[in-house]
């Protein structure tokens, strides 16, 4: 499990990130096995690349890293298909405003996307608050809007970039 700052959702500087990656890959294996989905070596490698940090990564960055690691035959459609698979199975989220992807901290739980994006360091924390999701869904329905997907993104400063002030 990730070590967090006192606010609970941003990783501490110097935390055991190898543990984050290992946990994410283990969870992906389990989730795919439970669903009868195939986590191919390429999909697994894409997930590993997304989890290299807690900052979002773009599809072309994933492609570059794949090629650097010897997957020279990887193409943009291949990467996008892998990312689509990972999103479909709740293993990654797309950060809409950045057109980038971040690993999901709890793929085994149904949740909506609420993200806090630090404008200085680029870290993204996933805030999973059912109350926020319920309010948005309720308001949308009251207006006759048929929600298909909700992603909430807030930009600001993480506790570390604010100098530790909560």
In a domain, 125, yes or no: yes
Q: What does the pLDDT read at residue 149?
A: 80
pLDDT the model gives residue 128: 81
Tally of structural domains, the chain:
1
Q: Please tell me the pTM assigned to this model.
A: 0.83
What is the structure's pLDDT at 78?
94
In a domain, 119, yes or no: yes
CATH number at residue 143: 1.10.10.10
Tens-place pLDDT, residues 34-74? 999 999 999 999 999 999 877 899 999 999 999 998 877 88
Identity of the highest mean pLDDT range in 19-23, 58-62, 158-162: 58-62
What average pLDDT does the segment 5-32 reach?
Answer: 74
pLDDT exceeds cutoff 50 at 5: no
Q: Is residue 162 one of the residues assigned to a domain?
A: no
Mean pLDDT computed over 19-23: 85
Q: Please determine, for residue 14, whether its predicted confidence score (pLDDT) is greater than 80.
A: no
| 74: in domain | yes
pLDDT value at position 60?
A: 95
Q: With 60 as the cut, is the pLDDT of residue 165 above it?
A: no
Q: The domain containing residue 81 runs over which residues?
A: 17-156
Question: Would residue 10 count as lying in a domain?
Answer: no
Each residue's pLDDT tens digit, 65-121: 999 988 778 899 999 999 999 999 999 999 999 999 999 887 877 777 799 999 998
Residue 70 within any structural domain of the chain: yes
User: How many angstroms from the chain centroid is the CA of residue 86?
Assistant: 10
**Alpha-carbon distance 134 to 126, whole Å?**
17
DSSP, residue by residue, 55-87: S-B-HHHHHHHHHHTT-TT--HHHHHHHHHHHH
Q: Is 55 among the domain residues?
A: yes
Q: For residue 117, is it within any domain?
A: yes
């Amino acid at each position: 499990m990730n070590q967090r700052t006192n606010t609970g959702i941003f990783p501490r500087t110097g935390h055991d990130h190898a543990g984050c990656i290992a946990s994410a890959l283990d969870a992906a294996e389990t989730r795919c096995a439970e669903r009868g989905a195939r986590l191919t070596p390429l999909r697994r490698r894409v997930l590993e690349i997304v989890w290299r940090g807690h900052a979002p990564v773009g599809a072309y960055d994933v492609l570059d890293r794949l090629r650097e690691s010897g997957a020279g035959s990887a193409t943009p459609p291949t990467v996008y298909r892998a990312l689509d698979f990972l999103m479909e199975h709740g293993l990654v989220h797309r950060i809409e405003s950045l057109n980038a992807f971040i690993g999901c901290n709890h793929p085994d739980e149904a949740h909506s996307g609420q993200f806090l994006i630090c404008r200085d360091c680029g870290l993204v924390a996933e805030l999973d608050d059912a109350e926020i999701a319920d309010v948005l869904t309720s308001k949308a329905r009251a207006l006759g809007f048929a929600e298909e997907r909700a992603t909430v993104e807030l930009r600001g400063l993480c506790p570390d970039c604010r100098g530790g002030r909560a």
